[in-house]
Amino acid sequence: LLSDNASYYKSKKFSQFLKNLNIEQKFSSVFNPTGNSLSERINSDILLVFKIYKGWNLGIIKLIIETKSTDCIIHI
C-alpha cells in the first residue's frame, strides 16, 4: 500500500490492521505530490465513478466495472 504521510496512515491501529492482512505499507516522499501521483489519479477516477453512478444499485456498478476490466461486451 502506497500512501502519503498523513497521521491517520501512520497510526498504530492502521499499521496493525495492515499487518493482520499481510499488506506491506510504503510512504511517498514528504512534501512531494508527484511521488504519489499514481494513487492520486486512481482516487480521482474512483471519485468520478461515484459521481457518475450516484444512486445506482451497487451490484450493477460492480458488474459494469468487472465487464469493462475483462474486455467483455455487455448490454444492459
Of the candidates 50, 48, 75, the one whose C-alpha atom is nearest the C-alpha of residue 64 is 75
Contacts of 48 (CB under 8 A, 6+ apart): none
- Rounded CA separation 41/55 (Å): 23
SS3 9: helix
Partnered with residue 3 across adjacent β-strands are 27
Question: If you search the block for the grid coordinates 445506482, which residue do you land on?
Answer: 56
CB 29 within 8 A of CB 52: no
Global model pTM greater than 0.85: no
List pLDDT tens digits, range 43-68: 888 888 888 888 888 888 788 777 76
